[in-house]
Amino acid sequence: MRLIRNKRITYGWLILTILIAILTMRLAWVQLVMKHQRVPGSRHTMVEASLIQRERGIVLDSGRGHFTDRNGKPLTGNLIWTAVLFPAGEKELRSAHHQVAKLARILGTDTNQLLQIWGKLKEPQLWHGADSRIPRSLSKEQIKQIRELELPKLKVLPYEQRYGNRQSGMQWLGFVSGQRKESLFFQDYPEISGTSGLEKTMDSLIRGEGPTVVYFPVNSTNEVIQDMKPMVKAPDNRYYPLRVSTTIDIDIQRGIETITEKAGMKEGAVVVLDARNADIVAMVSRPFYNPEQIHPKDGQWENRGLKAATPGSVFKLVTAAAILENGLSSPNEHFHCDGEFGKFGLSCWKKGGHGTIDLREGFAESCNVVFATLAERLTPQQMTSAASALGFGQSVGWQSQQFLGLRSFAPLDHEEKGTVFSGSADASDAGVRVQTGIGQRDAAVSPLQAANAMVTLLHGGVKTKPRIVKQIRYANGQLLQDTNPLYEGPAGNGISRETSSILLEWMEDVVQEGTGSALNHRKWTLAGKSGTAQVKVKGRARNNQWFVGYGPVEKPRYAVAVLVENRSTNSSNQATEIFGQVSDFLASVEAGSGSA
């Protein structure tokens, strides 16, 4: 009996020893190996998760890559100092009422409002104020005054604003969704992704390796432990996130935004291209948008510079090019305009007509009767070929099929191709060709395409591809990738150098003695083409007003397209006036830089 009992005791101790050994091995495995592995469903290791449970985190920087203009000036990312409020009880806030009142004055807010916001906090919050979606920036004097208050539940920390809370016409930049959550507790970092513009098209390249977070130790009652220093966690990689250098000149961009604002321009776009290589120097879209306050249904985030619109007489460039390329008229041919074409219900914009004029005069005066007559002579193929040679009816923005591991890379988000003839139109019908030849019916052109057509003509018919991304660099400044300008030589059915030269001369006539004569006394000698398109907006007759051109004529520096949409049918051409103001502004910029 005793022997049996001893055996049981021995077996019991043996089993207990084995269990203890297994438990010890398990603990050793957890402590030595698993603590460095990520917890399932999380991006944190076990050590990090245990720390997070005892800490409150404030995101200081999302870790996303930034954009600069062509001169290195930041387009995103502005380091500010801001106040951070930590949860505090009502009793604690009442006891510090005098200091809180001082803080309210420093922050420019009402004491009761500050107490109401502060008293409801369950987690740290960066100070936004009552009417802002982003943290408020503090001045040096404000920082000094706040620190003198010595409030234990108040900190002043650096924070990187991505955009700033302002309206702008920089829809090409876009915005991000999954808005930056500024405080973290028991959770992973929020996923941030680009939703439109460059933020979207370059999203996979600029995501970075995670945010910079400052952690504050807290006790079991969720109070910050003042005796323990906060810990900052940030990615340690000298190469990422990437920095993107654009072709935009932010000073020119904002200058043109101001011009459109003062002119009262409601809808439309202004596009400025470098005449030497078609780089996008500025692209202003109206109405403005605020990347921190996006309302998808309003459509303000859409880039009007890339959206196709009815071009009106700007499209007569296509008709003239097709006629010249195919030898269907000559400078000696004369036309008679009495104000009515006599067919298809078409009339000239000038009551009583232009009388007897030649082709060159017809272009300068933008005579509908002349160009309706010419459009009837053209075949659909001749018209579409000329449009294609100028970059109409297709995407013109710079693209690459292989770019840093991406199969297809098109930086310009939602660029519209536009149309010449719609798929349902019978282009063999003379009436369809006539309406299209004067820039009505289904013809649609974007301001970017219109400005790029100017550059194409200035290059003797060599089609250009506008860039908006210039370079991509590592975080340490080392060059990763250049995007070289792209040119597409004229094909067999393209526009010749001779035709290009003729059209450029005719556009000089437009300003000297034609529909653009209001531009005669600007700082530069200018050339271009005006346009007024009849459109319907919510059933009402309205006009799209255009002016596209370049300057200075002697040594072209910029090509500019201005589109003002949804204008009254009896209003003057606001696009021409804005084109003149933009040209004067560019002339001043060039003179100031010593380039003129």
Mean pLDDT of 149-159: 89
Residues with Cβ within 8 Å of 147's Cβ and at least 6 positions away in sequence, in order, are 156
Give pLDDT, residue 197.
95
**The two structure tokens encoding residue 428:** 């063999």
Q: Are 247 and 398 in contact (CB under 8 A)?
A: no
270 bridge partner residues: 284, 562
What's CA 199's distance to the chain center, in Å? Answer: 8
Q: How far apart are the C-alpha atoms of 155 and 509, rounded to whole Å? A: 66
Mean pLDDT of 422-426: 86
pLDDT band (50, 70, 90) for residue 223: low
Helix (H) or strand (E) holding 436: helix 430-437
- What are 193-207's pLDDT values in tens digits? 888 999 999 999 998
Q: How far apart are the C-alpha atoms of 97 and 103, rounded to whole Å? A: 10
Mean pLDDT of 464-474: 95
Nearest partner of 582 among 261, 267, 330, judged by Cα = 261
Task: Give the position of tokens 């009815």.
Answer: 310
Mean pLDDT of the chain: 88
Mean pLDDT of 556-582: 96
Q: Order of strands, edge to edge, in the sheet holding 527-537?
A: 280-286, 268-274, 558-567, 540-551, 527-537
Give pLDDT, residue 184.
46
Q: How far apart are the C-alpha atoms of 337 and 492, rounded to whole Å? A: 34
Q: Where are the domains of the chain?
A: 63-218+233-241, 250-290+303-593
* pLDDT higher at 447 or 119: 447
Mean pLDDT of 470-484: 93
Q: Convert 291-360 into a string of H (helix), E (strand) and C (coil).
A: CCCCCHHHCCCCCCCCCCECCHHHHHHHHHHHHHHCCCCCCCCEEEECCECCCCCCECCCCCCCEEEEHH
Q: Are 447 and 271 in contact (CB under 8 A)?
A: yes
Class of domain 250-290+303-593: alpha beta
Q: How far apart are the C-alpha atoms of 68 and 248, rounded to whole Å? A: 8
Judged by average pLDDT, the poorest of 27-36, 56-65, 408-417 is 27-36
56 bridge partner residues: 216
Give pLDDT, residue 222.
62
Q: Reply yes or no on whether the pLDDT at 53 is more than 60.
A: no
Mean pLDDT of 109-122: 87
Q: Are 276 and 462 in contact (CB under 8 A)?
A: no
Give pLDDT, residue 35.
57
Say whether 548 sits in a helix, a strand or coil. strand
Q: How far apart are the C-alpha atoms of 418 and 392, rounded to whole Å? A: 7
Task: Give the position of tokens 């940030």.
Answer: 234
Angle at 432 between CA 427 and CA 438, to 5 degrees: 120
Say whether 585 sits in a helix, a strand or coil. helix
Judged by average pLDDT, the poorest of 182-186, 231-235, 504-508 is 182-186
Give pLDDT, residue 185.
43
Mean pLDDT of 42-57: 56
Say whether 154 sits in a helix, a strand or coil. strand
What's CA 466's distance to the chain center, in Å? Answer: 15
Mean pLDDT of 306-311: 97
Task: Give the position of tokens 């659909």.
Answer: 380
Strands (E), 172-308: 175-177, 183-184, 193-196, 212-217, 231-233, 243-246, 268-274, 280-286
**The two structure tokens encoding residue 561:** 């397209």
Torsion of CA 208, 399, 318, 539, to 10 degrees: -40
Say whether 89 sits in a helix, a strand or coil. coil
Q: Reply yes or no on whether the pLDDT at 326 is more than 60.
A: yes
Mean pLDDT of 175-200: 68
Pure H helices in 514-573: none
Q: Reply yes or no on whether the pLDDT at 170 is more than 90.
A: yes
Give pLDDT, residue 352.
87
% residues pLDDT > 90 (the chain): 59
Q: Are 108 and 132 in contact (CB under 8 A)?
A: no
Q: Are 182 and 80 in contact (CB under 8 A)?
A: no
Which range among 106-110, 247-251, 408-412 has the greatest average pLDDT?
247-251
pTM for this predicted structure: 0.86
Q: How far apart are the C-alpha atoms of 113 and 129, rounded to whole Å? A: 9
pLDDT band (50, 70, 90) for residue 67: very high
% residues pLDDT > 70 (the chain): 89
Q: Are 107 and 114 in contact (CB under 8 A)?
A: yes
Give pLDDT, residue 238.
87
Torsion of CA 119, 121, 123, 127, to 10 degrees: -90
Task: Give the position of tokens 């051109």.
Answer: 549
> How big is the chain by its Cα radius of gyration, in Å?
33
Q: How far apart are the C-alpha atoms of 228 and 329, rounded to whole Å? A: 86
Q: How far apart are the C-alpha atoms of 356 and 361, rounded to whole Å? A: 10
Give pLDDT, residue 382.
95
Antiparallel, parallel or unpaired: β 66-68 and 243-246: parallel
The CATH number of 63-218+233-241 is 3.90.1310
Q: Reply yes or no on whether the pLDDT at 23 is more than 90.
A: no
Give pLDDT, residue 42.
46
